[in-house]
Each structure stands twice: as structure tokens, then as C-alpha cells.
Amino acid sequence: MSWKVTVDDLTYGYQWDETGRGRDLTWKEATVWQPGPGSGTLFLVCNSTLPEVRLWLRQDSGIDFATVNIMLNDDDRPRLVRGPEGTLVILRGMNDDSKSSDTPMIPIKIWVDKNRVIALRGARVLAFRDVLADLRELGEIPSSTVDLLHHIISKVIFRMESLVTTLISDLDQLESRILSTRTNMPMLRSFHSEVVRLRKRVITVRSHLVPMGALASAFLRQRGKWMETRQRRLIAEEFERLHDYLEALGMVRERSSLLEDEIHAMEASQMDRNIYVLTFLTGVFVPMNLIPSMLGSNIGGIYGATDPDAFEYLIFVELLIFAVGLFFFMRHVRKLSVTS
């Protein structure tokens, strides 16, 4: 069975009857579909940015005006909105472009009533591709629209696991690279920027998942003749899985903070070493410069002015000062090496 793309490759439909037989729908077939005996159940995924979709939702979808406004506006906070004939579920799903780090999650708005599931999004979502594959290729036909909603939510949350795993893997690799370049200051500065970007990604993802975690209690409070208690509990259990992801993201955020502190400590340690070297050079060369400066004063009574061997004595004293300073410097460096 082919995937029939109609308005564009972001809008498609699927319909099945009580016997479990399903078929793809064109955009025209989906928009004229009406509930009734033998009409079965409709699953429609739409691109919310298309004028045709927005016009159909407002004029011919049969969804109440207030709910349609919520579906089409820019307020995409995860929540439940109960309408006269159904429920609107607003979620966040994984972007189909898995390489996109700026927008890893995009809003999904799903209208569910007794006979229809209508989903809106502005870009491809991995979960919908999984659900369509189950419907069309595996023949996993849900018994009701609520069961289909449960299936969609389970796929949305399952896809988030890969994002969390990627963030953990990125942090592990970054930590390994940092520990292997402890004394390379330019590299440490670049690693610091990477750690900051990683923390921002974690904060962004958590900001999307935290409101979704609250939907578990919202579904348990949901009431409707077409939504059974068993179905509400199953959906709530799916959202409970988000708490594991939130804990993992919290650990990533804490580890990134500790890693950032470690980078600062490495930079401070390297800076201390550089300052110590400058201090040693100052402590050695200041006396070495002081003695020739005093001997070079244009006044009477300068020691060694008439001694033909005075220059050799001066060179010997300078080398002695340098050797003593170098001895104490190397001994301190060895102590630092042992302690570090």
C-alpha cells in the first residue's frame, strides 16, 4: 500500500473500519469524510502552515471554534484542552532532522474525539512515521481513537530516549577529550564553549519535557464517555516514563556543571604555573641586573674598577645566582609534579 501524498509531503491520512481493514486517504477524501455507520475511524496528520489545512479546520472540520483557535495559534505549551466533543492534546515531539541541535523538539497538537484523530505539526515528526508504519505495514490497527492516541504518545516518548542518550554520549566524549588535554589552554577554552552549548541544549530539552510530565495527572482527571479509565491510566503511565528522562537530563546538567568547574580549575592551575615561571624569572634576573647596574654607576669607589679580573668575578656571581635560582625552581616543579 503506497503512501499517498496529497497537499504536500507533510499531510496524509489513513482510515480503517471495524473489521481492521485500512487504507490511505487522499486530502480530498479525508476532508469529506464523515462519521457514521461503516465510515470507521480517521487518522489525519496535517501541516499546520498550509492555508488549505487552516481553512478546512476553521470551516469544515466540525471542531469547535475555540479549540481550532488553540490548534492554529502559536501557544504550544504542553497541556490538555477539553472541548465539547473531544480533547486537544499538545505535546512536543522529536524533529525528523535528527542532526538539528537548535530545534530538537517541535510542537504537536492532536485533536481526539470518538471517531477521529487529527494531528497538526509544521515539520516532520519521527513518531508519526513510526505510527504510520505500524498501521500500514504491520497491521497494528487500534480498537479506538484513544488507543491510537496512546500509541502515538508512546512513540513520541520513545523517540525522546535517543535524544537523551545522544546528550549523555556527547558529554562522555567531551569529558574524555578534556581530561586528555589538561595543559592545552586554547583547547580548554574551546571545550568550555562546547560545555556551555551542551548545557543550553539540556536546559532547552528539559524545559519541553517538564510540562509534558504534568500531563500524567491531567489524563487521570480527564473525563469523557469515549475515554475509559483503563485507557487514561495507560496514557498516564507513558508520561510517567518522562521522569526517568528528566532525572537523566538532570544528571547531565550537573555533570556538565562539574566539568565546567574542572575546566576553570585546569585553567587556574595552568595560570598559576605561568605566574610562577614569571616570578622565578623576575627573582633571578632582577638581582642579576641589579649588580651590573650598580657597578656601572658613574661615581667613584666602584668595586673592581681597577682590578683586571673583576669582570670574571662578576660573571661567576651572575652564574651562581642563576644556578641557585634554577635549583630551587626545579625542586619546586618536581614537588608540583608529585602532588598533581
- pLDDT tens digits along 203-217: 888 888 888 877 777
Farthest-apart Cα atoms in the chain, separation: 125
pTM for this entry: 0.69
219 and 288 in a single domain? The answer is no
Expressed as residue numbers, the domain containing 38 is 12-265
CATH number at residue 220: 3.30.460.20
Q: Are residues 191 and 63 in the same domain?
A: yes
CA distance 170 to 163: 11
- Give phi and psi for 105, each to the nearest 5: -130, 140
Examine residue 1 and state whether it is found in any structural domain, yes or no: no
Domain count, the chain: 2
In this predicted structure, the answer to whether residue 335 has a pLDDT above a threshold of 70 is no
Name the pairing type of β-strands 41-47 and 116-121.
Answer: parallel
Do 193 and 318 belong to one domain?
no
Structural domain contains residue 3? no
pLDDT in tens, 173-196: 888 887 777 666 667 777 778 888
With cell 505500524, the residue in question is 134
Question: Residue 99: how many CA atoms within 13 Å on its side-chain side?
Answer: 0
